[in-house]
Amino acid sequence: MARPRRKTHGSSSGLAVFGIVVLSLFIVSAVGAYAMLWWKADKVAKLDSDHCPVEGPSSVTAVLLDVTDPIKEITKIDLKRQFQKAVAGVETGGLIEVYALSGEEGKLARTFRGCNPGDGETADPWTTNPKKIQERWKKAFEEPLKQIAEHIGEAGEANSSPIMAGVQRIVIESFSDPKANGKNKTLYVASDMIEHTDSFSIYKSGADYEAFENSVARARFRTPLDGIGVKLLVFQRETAKPLSDLPEFWTRWVDGNGGEFIGYERMAGVE
């Protein structure tokens, strides 16, 4: 009669150990994945009421629209295109402000202020709701700026055109925010660039920078443009005096105030 075989526990013990190891690895992986999602969610920028990161915008863009005189339809279309291009250049977290210049010196109407909160395509589907992110972007950023673009160039007439005072106001109120220190700053000025105030008038003196330097306007409209890139979007107007020196005049004004002159672009059409 054959002797009964002893039961061996080696195989079952090995399976148990293997199962424990697999379970441990699963738990570690799950905890790691949760920790990673928690970390990524914690890194999502907290936004203020203007949809800007609470620690400050990643860049600042300001657009000054001269509405002291009406412009022709072809110029409006070209300006709208340039405005949309400027808006498209504002990255997620970047702030854009839009101002309308009036005929009253230093008085501006701010028509928009807000940051690009990012659209649904930039959202992380694991930590956010891309659909809600897209809706927020459309409501807070795309649609109001689209409305501004649609009505661009609609204006009455004013007796003066205080462009320098308008730039000065924007620089002091917008670009001087401590949260914007060290950030990329860009100013677009859409205008005929014919400064006309009691202090100095290009209509009277022409685009003569020496005449400007000898006027009270030089000190009155001194503007700290340090660290700011300035681009001019210029409406062309028929004037009694030739203004071929207009680009040089404004280049010297920007440089003289410490700014970086990044462009002078003539809009289509002649007013």
Cα angle 154, 156, 161 (rounded to 5 degrees) comes to 105
Indicate the SS3 state at residue 237.
coil
* Tens digit of each residue's pLDDT (9 = 90 or more) over 2-45: 555 555 555 566 666 656 655 565 565 555 444 443 444 444 46
Contact 222, 257 (CB under 8 A): yes
* Tens digit of each residue's pLDDT (9 = 90 or more) over 167-191: 999 999 889 888 888 899 999 999 9
Q: Residue 233 forms beta bridges with which residues?
A: 190, 265
Res 189: pLDDT: 96
Indicate the SS3 state at residue 224.
coil
Q: Both tokens of residue 49? A: 């009421």
pTM: 0.78
